[in-house]
Structure 1
Amino acid sequence: MRAMSTALRTALASVAAGVLMTGCSGGSGGSGAEGPSARQLLRDANATMRTLTSVTIDSDGTSAVRLRTDLKDRCANRTSFKGGGVLDQIRIGAVDYVRPDSACLKKSGHTPGGSYGRGHWVRTRAADAVPGDGLAACTWPFAEFGTASGTKEPVTVGGVRATPVTVTDPKDKDGTYTVSIAAQGKPYLLKVAYEGGGRRTTTSFSGFGAPLDVRAPAASDIVDTSGA
């Protein structure tokens, strides 16, 4: 995990006895339609995703992340760190509710105390979160990037027939993205797979427009450090 925000620092400090030390975590060319067709597929997919009122996003890389979001300001996020530790987050408007488990607390240099680390949430300001601290924003850009060089043979993603589009980014000369777009019904983004520099990551999308039940924790389960 990179540098922590005030929000996450406060959350961890509030749910354990001890001094904060570290974060929860330790330290192809294709065939088929060319250029314009591939670019148009991506444009249509991103435009479709931007109309959604909710979506579930699963990412697997240095950690496993599941984000359920209205793509505005209400979402629930769970980050499972490889090697142990889980960080739960609920964001509702300007407020974050954060709950690290005991393993996450221990890896951050804390000793869980009392009931903390066993179900309690810490209330913090969403404005104090910064990118890379393990806390998620509810928004997602769905914006074009790189160069769509072509499509590959159709595949099936989550039971849906999809067209894979190969994307390269001049800012990342070693990496290649394969973006799978639904070929049935609306052109949703179904999966983005990245491979390069010895790394592999996947981001999958599901639950398009499904009802989103994200609520604040019960008042008895909250420790308020927001100052609000």
Structure 2
Amino acid sequence: MAANRKLLAVAVVCAAAVIGVTGCSSDSGDKDPFDGMSADKIAEKASKASKDAGSFTMKGQMKQNGETSNIEFVVAESGDCKGTMGSAKKGKAEFLSSGKFTYSKGDDKFWEASGGGATAELLKGRWVKRPNKGSKAVCNPDDMFSNKNLKKLKREDDAEVGGAKAAVLTRKKGGETTTFYVAMEGKPYFLKVVNKGSDGPGTVTFSDYGKPVDVKAPPASEVVDPEKLAAGS
């Protein structure tokens, strides 16, 4: 079942690649709310604002080993989260992290890719429960919007993301380029991040900051105990 956790980790890493100090409102119109700020300072403000929003939605695609995976998650202020991941080759799965546990439920193709046909039949319509590692929530906003890697950025020409004006910041390291889009109206949230030239290129968009998110563990009757799986029951 390592594949389940690896896929979830991809979403977290994808969001963590994006990522920095006071969430403040900006004026609308043609005025540049970041006038006079360095690119690093803009990223710092975006990290703080995005983290302080508490909850958000993230959608995106990542490519690994030539295969594209789609992800869509909603994250609660507590760090609990739920969503879907999948690819044409390996199938689709739902993931849910609540409290100290993460749950996954995949379609037949997903479980067949993970453990074969017998596993797919055994887990059809059921959730597999796994304990989370460490003391932090899987989708902890502090980790997802950490600004520790937001250094030596360069501001490029402004652009639009979904009709919203955004400041564009780039970071180049070797052959890899990461581009961050920061909202220029309202609070300076991260709107999108694009990674190119890496082993796992991808794009993630962020929306619905501050919108309430309710994440509940699935009913016990629909959950499979991993120890019983090992025993073949």
TM-score w.r.t. the length of structure 2 is 0.70
- Cα shift readout 1:97-150 (whole Å, capped 9, x = no counterpart): 22122101111241146964432112222239xxxxxxx921142122154443
In the alignment, what sits opposite 1:89? 95
SS of corresponding position for 1:167: strand
In the alignment, what sits opposite 1:131? none
User: Which contiguous aligned blocks of 4+ residues in structure 1 show a shift greater than 6 angstroms?
Assistant: none
Gapped regions of structure 2 (runs ≥ 5): 7-33, 64-68, 229-233
2:80 to 69, 74, 79: 74
**C-alpha distance in 2, partners of 1:184/1:200?**
28
User: Displacement, 1:226?
Assistant: 7.0
**C-alpha distance in 2, partners of 1:4/1:109?**
10
**C-alpha distance in 2, partners of 1:188/1:79?**
24
**C-alpha distance in 1, partners of 2:204/2:72?**
10
User: Displacement, 1:79?
Assistant: 1.5
**C-alpha distance in 2, partners of 1:8/1:185?**
35
1:167 to 162, 165, 171: 171
**Pair 1:158 & 2:169 matched:** no
Gapped regions of structure 1 (runs ≥ 5): 10-32, 129-135
SS of corresponding position for 2:2: coil
SS of corresponding position for 2:46: helix
Identical residues among aligned pairs (%): 26
SS of corresponding position for 1:210: coil
CA contact (8 A) 2:76 2:214 kept: no
Task: Indicate the structure with greater helix content.
Answer: 2
User: Displacement, 1:41?
Assistant: 0.8
CA shift in 2, pair 1:189/1:79, >3 Å:
same
User: Displacement, 1:54?
Assistant: 0.7
In the alignment, what sits opposite 2:146? 143
CA shift in 2, pair 1:177/1:95, >3 Å:
same
In the alignment, what sits opposite 2:20? none
Aligned residue pairs total 192
In the alignment, what sits opposite 1:21? none
- Cα shift readout 1:66-95 (whole Å, capped 9, x = no counterpart): 221125341113211342311221111112
How much is the aligned-residue C-alpha RMSD, in angstroms?
3.2
CA shift in 2, pair 1:125/1:174, >3 Å:
same
SS of corresponding position for 1:191: strand
Task: Indicate the structure with greater strand content.
Answer: 1
**C-alpha distance in 2, partners of 1:36/1:148?**
13
